[in-house]
Amino acid sequence: MDTTVHELSLGLDRDAVAQARKFTVAALGDAPASVAGDAELVVAELVTNAVLHGRPPITVRVVQHAQGSRVEVVDFGPRPPVRIRDAGQSMTGRGLALVAALSSEWGVEQVEGGGKVIWAEIPANGVASPHGDPTAFDLAGVLREWQDGPQSAERFTVELGDVPTDLLLEAKSHVDNLVREFVLASSDEAESRPTWLDRLVQSVVQDFAVARTQIKEQALAAAGRGLAMTHLSLHLPAGAAEAGERYLLALDEADRYARSARLLTLEAPPVHKVFRRWYVEALVDALRRQVAGEKPSQPVPFAERLAEEFTKVAPLQEVATRLAMLQRVTADLAAAATVQDVARAVVDNSREILLADVAVVYLLDDDGMLRSVHRDGQGDEVLAREYDAYPLDADLPGGNALRSGESLVFRNRSDLASQYPHLAGTYPEDMRLLVAPLIVGSHKLGVLALRFIGSGPVQEDSQLTMLNTLAGVTAQALERALATSAAGLAADKLALLAEASVVLSSTLDHRAVLQALADLVVPTLADWCVVQLLEQGQAQTVGITHFNPERTAWARSLQGTYPTDMSAQQGAPQVMRTGVSELYPEISMELLERTARDADHLELVKGLGMTSALVVPLTGRTGVIGAITMIHAESGRRFREEDIPLAEDLARRAAVAVETAHAFNEQSTRLADVMRVAEAAQHAILARPPHQIGSIALAARYISAAAEALVGGDLYETIARPGAVRLLIGDVRGKGLDAVRIATIVLGEFRAAAADLDDLVQVARQIDRRVRTYLDDEDFVTALIADLNDDGTFTLVSCGHPAPLLVSAAGTHEVTCPATVPLGLGVEPLLISGTLSHGDRLLLYTDGLIEARDTRGGFVDRDEVTAPLASAPLDRVLDDILKEVRRRTGGPLSDDLALLVAEYRGTA
C-alpha cells in the first residue's frame, strides 16, 4: 500500500475533538475497523491534550502505510505531555496511558518555531507491541533533553529541600484537576464567562506554570527512581515571586468555590494547603532576596512546618471534641419537652461529658425550696435523701451559687470544709464538687451540681468552662420547658373554665351548681374541694368532693360533726370576712395542731394527709357569699401563687351563677325584674375577651337594643387553644329571657365542644345536635365559628350568619361564605380557610349592624360605618364603629348588636 497523508487544521473550538475523530475515521476508511477504532481513540486523546495544554493552531495528520497507521498531533504549547504515575484519583494523565496501550510506539518531538508534535504508531494487526507499555517510555530522557525554550529573563535557583514524593504527586494531581476544569470552562464564549473564572484561569494555568511544571517533573522523576522523598530545586525568573502570590490567592479562592459546590474538583486537603503555602512563600522570599543581591535564607524544612501546624491545631482539636459533645447535649435538650426530660438529658450527658460520678439538677419552687428534679450516679442514698430538697436561703453551696449567680468549685473535701464547716463529714471519700447556677436573665431557675471521685485541679479553661456552658444551655432549655408547660396548663385551665361555664349555667339550683363545681375541680385542681355558702352568718357546706368516691361519702357523713368556727383567724371564716384568698403552700403539723378543736379532730385532719391548701372567696356583685377550699393530699402536689387567679376566676363565676339563680328565683313574678336579671346574666356570660391570646389581639362589644327589649340573644365567646384561638359569634331568634336562656346554652355547648373537638365542622354539628332539644319549632340560632392560628392561617364555618369582614393591606372585603342553615335546623357547614398577614383584622358581627336604619329609614352602609377598621387602634376601633352607627341612626338601635374583632400580630 502506498503511503497516504491526510491533514486537518483545528483551533480551540468546542467541537475540535469531535472534528478530529470524524476526520480520522474518514481518513482510514480502507483500514481494518480495529485499526481505525484504535487510531480514533488515540487522536481523540492527543487532541484533547493539545486543547487543554497546548496552543493553536492544532494540526492532525493521519499517515496510512503498509505496517499500519501513524497519527500526529502538532500544537505550539511550550511543554511536553507528562504522564501522572497513578491517575486513579486524577482527571488528567489517563489519556497518555491509553495512547501507550494502543500504540506500538509513541513519542514527543520539538518542532521548529516552538511547539511539539506527539505521534503514535498504530499496528496493522491491531495488537500493540511490548514497547507500547507506558513504563517503557523514557520519560526521564525526554525531560532531560526538552528545552524550556527561549529564556530571555534571568533565572534564579531556589532550594526547597526534601518533600514526600507521594504528597507532591497528590498535590500536583489535585491542581492539575483544577487546571483541567478551568481550561474547559475558559473555552466558553468570552461574554458568558464570569470574571472570577478569567482571573483564576490566568493565575493558576498560566502565571505560575513554570514552577508547577518543574515540581511535577522532579516528583515524577523521583517516583520513577522509587524515591520516597523528592529534593526540590527550582530555576525560576524573578517574576515567579509575584506569580506565586497570585497563585496562592487563586487557589484559596478556588477552595472557596469548591466548598460552595461551584466546582467539580473538591477542596484541597489540609496537608496540600500547608505544602503549597510553605513552598510558595519560601520561593517568593528566596527570589526577592536574590533579586535584591542578598543570599537567600534556608527555608524551614517541610516536616518542621507540618509539626508547627499540628502544634497550632492540637488545642483546637480538644475544643472541637468538647463542642461536639456539647452539641450532642444541645440536640437532646432541643428534643426535651418537659422539665423532667431536660433534667434527664443534662444529667445523663453531663456525666459522660465531664466524667462526673454524680450529677443532680435542682429546680427552685415558688416556696423558695430547691428540689431535686433528676439525679444519677453512684452516690450515698442517705445523703441523696437528706439533700433532695433544701431552702434557697440555706447555707449550702447550691443556695449560695444561685443567690450570687456564680459557679462554685471545691477541689477536695478540705476545700469544702474550709468554707462550709458543717459539711466537713458529709462525704466519706475525697471528691471534687462543682455547682453552677441555672439562670436566664434575672430568672433564677435552679442549680446544676456535679461530683467527681478523688481530688485534683480543675482546669479553669476546660472543665469549668464546659460546666458554665452546660449550665447556660440547661437554663435555656428549662425556661423553654417551663413556658411550654405553662402554656399547656393555661390551655387546660381555659378548657376547665369553659366546662365550668357550662356547669354553672346548667341549672338554677345553686346547691346543685356548687356541688357540680366541686366535682369539676377534683382531681384537676385539687384532691379535695369544699364549697361553703354564708347563710345567716354561718358557713354552710353545700359541696364536698374527693377523687375517691368512698372518701367523699365518708366526708359527707361527718358534716355537722365539727361546725365551722366563724371566729377563726384563718381559713374559710377569715376569707369570707376579708374577701382575700389564703394560700398554704405547706401544711405543717404546727398548723394542724393550732386549728384542731380537740384530739379527735386532730387525728381526723391528720388522717387526711393534707400537704397544701388554697381558700378563695365566692365574691359576687353583692359581696362575699361564701368560700371554696381546695386541698392537696395524697397526690403530694402543692398550690402556688399562679394557681390563685384560676381559682378566684372559678369562684367569681360560681358566685355570679349563685346570685343569678337567687335573683331569678326571688323575682320571677315580676317581668321587669326578670329582664334585669336576664340582662345581668347575659353580661355575666358575655365577659370581655382577653386583650391577646397567642398571636391574636382581641376586642369585643355588646350593645342592648331599645329599652322595651332590654335583653336579647346576641352572643360571642373566645376560647384559647394550643397555638390558636377559637371565636364564636351568634344571634338567637327572638328577645327576652328565652333568648338569653338559649344563648347561655349555645355558649355552654360551644365551650364544651371547643375543648373536645378540633374540627370546626364537627363543633358546629355537635352544638346543633345538642341545642335542638331546647328550641321551639320556630327557634334557631345563626352562628359563625372561626379558628385563628398563631401562624396566621384561619378557618371558619358559617351557620346562616352574616359573613365576616377581612381588613388587610389590599383593603376591606367580605370573606365569602356559602349559604347554610342556622343552628337547630340540621347544619352541614362548609369549611372556609385563609391566611392573615401581620396587622390584618377580622370583624365578626351580628345582624344588628347591617339591619340598622338611618334617619331616612334606609339601611346604614356597612362598609362606611366599619371604615375605622382600617386605621383606628384596636382598643378603640369598635367604639368608633358604634359611634358612627349611632350617628347615622340618630338614636338607640332597634336590635341587639355584638361585635368581635381579631387582629393578627405575628408569632406570639
- Candidates 78, 82, 21, 85; CA nearest to 47 is 21
Instruction: Work out the average pLDDT over 663-676.
Output: 58
* pLDDT tens figures, 674-728: 455 555 655 666 778 899 999 999 999 988 764 444 556 788 999 999 899 999 9
Using the structure block, give the residue that is written with the C-alpha cell 496511558: 97
Higher pLDDT, 353 or 782: 782
Evaluate whether 172 touches 268 at the Cβ level (below 8 Å). Answer: no
Q: How confident is the model at residue 196 (pLDDT cuts 50, 70, 90)?
A: low
User: ∠ at Cα 315 (309, 319), nearest 5°?
Assistant: 130
State the pTM of this model: 0.36
Instruction: Please give the Cα distance from 241 to 287 (Å, whole number).
Output: 6
Instruction: Please give the Cα distance from 323 to 325 (Å, whole number).
Output: 5
- Nine cell digits for residue 453: 471521685
Whole-Å CA distances, 566 to 358, 558, 582: 53, 18, 16
Helix (H) or strand (E) holding 10: strand 4-10
What single DSSP character describes residue 136?
Answer: G
Q: How confident is the model at residue 779 (pLDDT cuts 50, 70, 90)?
A: confident
**Collapsed DSSP state (helix, strand, coil) of residue 408:** strand
Evaluate whether 814 touches 804 at the Cβ level (below 8 Å). Answer: yes
Instruction: Work out the average pLDDT over 768-786.
Output: 89
* Phi, psi torsion values for 637, nearest 5 degrees: -70, 165
Q: Lowest-confidence range among 372-381, 807-816, 871-880?
A: 372-381
What single DSSP character describes residue 615?
Answer: E
The amino acid at 882:
L
- Candidates 568, 588, 590; CA nearest to 577 is 568
Instruction: Please give the Cα distance from 519 to 527 (Å, whole number).
Output: 10
What's the confidence (pLDDT) of residue 499? 76
* Phi, psi torsion values for 410, nearest 5 degrees: -120, 115
Instruction: Please give the Cα distance from 666 to 842 (Å, whole number).
Output: 42
- Nine cell digits for residue 871: 386605621
Evaluate whether 862 touches 848 at the Cβ level (below 8 Å). Answer: no
* Phi, psi torsion values for 614, nearest 5 degrees: -145, 125
Helix (H) or strand (E) holding 904: strand 897-904
Instruction: Work out the average pLDDT over 271-276.
Output: 86
- Nine cell digits for residue 730: 351568634
Q: Which ranges of 559-643 would DSSP assign to H, the alpha helix?
A: 572-578, 589-595, 599-607
In order, the DSSP letters of 649-687 are: HHHHHHHHHHHHHHHHHHHTT-HHHHHHHHHHHHHHHSP
- Nine cell digits for residue 5: 497523508
Evaluate whether 54 touches 79 at the Cβ level (below 8 Å). Answer: no
Instruction: Please give the Cα distance from 296 to 290 (Å, whole number).
Output: 6
Per the DSSP assignment, residues forming a β-bridge with 624 are 619
User: Could you count the other beta carbons within 10 Å of the beta carbon of residue 286?
Assistant: 24
User: Could you count the other beta carbons within 10 Å of the beta carbon of residue 665?
Assistant: 12
Instruction: Work out the average pLDDT over 329-355.
Output: 78
The residues, ordered by sequence, that sit 6+ positions from 494 with a Cβ below 8 Å of its Cβ are 719, 720, 721
Q: Is the pLDDT of residue 90 over 60?
A: no
User: Could you count the other beta carbons within 10 Å of the beta carbon of residue 244?
Assistant: 24
- Mean pLDDT in the chain? 80
Instruction: Please give the Cα distance from 40 to 28 (Å, whole number).
Output: 9
Cis peptide before 523 (omega within 30 of 0): yes
How long is the chain?
908
What's the confidence (pLDDT) of residue 669? 47
Using the structure block, give the residue that is written with the C-alpha cell 526540590: 232
Using the structure block, give the residue that is written with the C-alpha cell 441555672: 438
Task: Return the beta strands (E) in 460-527 as ranges.
Answer: none
Most confident of 182-186, 408-412, 515-519, 719-723: 719-723
What's the confidence (pLDDT) of residue 88? 44
* pLDDT tens figures, 792-838: 999 999 999 999 999 998 899 999 888 889 998 999 999 999 999 99
The amino acid at 708:
E
What's the confidence (pLDDT) of residue 630? 92
Q: Is the pLDDT of residue 139 over 50?
A: no
Instruction: Work out the average pLDDT over 281-307.
Output: 87
CB-based contacts of 773-779 (< 8 A; 24+ apart in sequence) = 774/741, 774/742, 774/745, 775/742, 775/824, 778/733, 779/732, 779/733, 779/734, 779/742, 779/824
**Collapsed DSSP state (helix, strand, coil) of residue 508:** coil
- Nine cell digits for residue 441: 436573665
- Nine cell digits for residue 805: 369582614
Q: Is the pLDDT of residue 134 over 70?
A: no
Residue 793, classified by CB atoms within 10 Å of its CB into exposed (0-12), middle (13-18) or buried (19+), is middle
Instruction: Work out the average pLDDT over 558-585.
Output: 88
Higher pLDDT, 146 or 602: 602
Q: How far out from the chain centre does Cα 49 lie?
A: 52
Q: How confident is the model at residue 146 (pLDDT cuts 50, 70, 90)?
A: very low
Instruction: Please give the Cα distance from 632 to 639 (Å, whole number).
Output: 8
- Nine cell digits for residue 65: 502505510
Most confident of 306-310, 706-710, 761-765: 761-765
What's the confidence (pLDDT) of residue 697? 94
The residues, ordered by sequence, that sit 6+ positions from 487 with a Cβ below 8 Å of its Cβ are 722
User: What b/e sequence results for 854-881 when a residue is b if at least 16 CB atoms lie within 10 Å of its CB, and e otherwise?
Assistant: eeeeeebeeeebbebbeeeebeebbebb
The residues, ordered by sequence, that sit 6+ positions from 12 with a Cβ below 8 Å of its Cβ are 51, 56, 58, 187
pLDDT > 90 in the chain, percent: 16
**Collapsed DSSP state (helix, strand, coil) of residue 385:** helix
Q: Is the pLDDT of residue 145 over 50?
A: no
Instruction: Please give the Cα distance from 175 to 111 (Å, whole number).
Output: 28
Evaluate whether 764 touches 783 at the Cβ level (below 8 Å). Answer: yes
Using the structure block, give the residue that is written with the C-alpha cell 338614636: 891
The residues, ordered by sequence, that sit 6+ positions from 407 with a Cβ below 8 Å of its Cβ are 401, 434, 435, 436, 437, 464, 467, 468, 471
Residue 595 half-sphere exposure toward CB, CA atoms < 13 A:
22
In order, the DSSP letters of 63-84 are: EEETTEEEEEEEE--SS-----
Q: Which region holds residue 638: left if phi is over 0, alpha if psi is between -120 and 50, else beta?
A: beta
Q: Which ranges of 505-548 would DSSP assign to H, the alpha helix?
A: 510-521
pLDDT > 70 in the chain, percent: 82
Whole-Å CA distances, 490 to 494, 495, 497, 887: 6, 9, 10, 41
Evaluate whether 504 touches 653 at the Cβ level (below 8 Å). Answer: yes
Instruction: Work out the average pLDDT over 448-470.
Output: 70
Q: Lowest-confidence range among 20-29, 665-674, 694-703, 774-783?
A: 665-674
Evaluate whether 125 touches 103 at the Cβ level (below 8 Å). Answer: no
Residue 352 half-sphere exposure toward CB, CA atoms < 13 A:
12
Instruction: Please give the Cα distance from 203 to 197 (Å, whole number).
Output: 10
- Nine cell digits for residue 216: 511535577
Instruction: Please give the Cα distance from 313 to 87 (Å, whole number).
Output: 31
Instruction: Please give the Cα distance from 303 to 686 (Å, whole number).
Output: 84
Most confident of 119-133, 361-375, 488-502, 810-824: 810-824
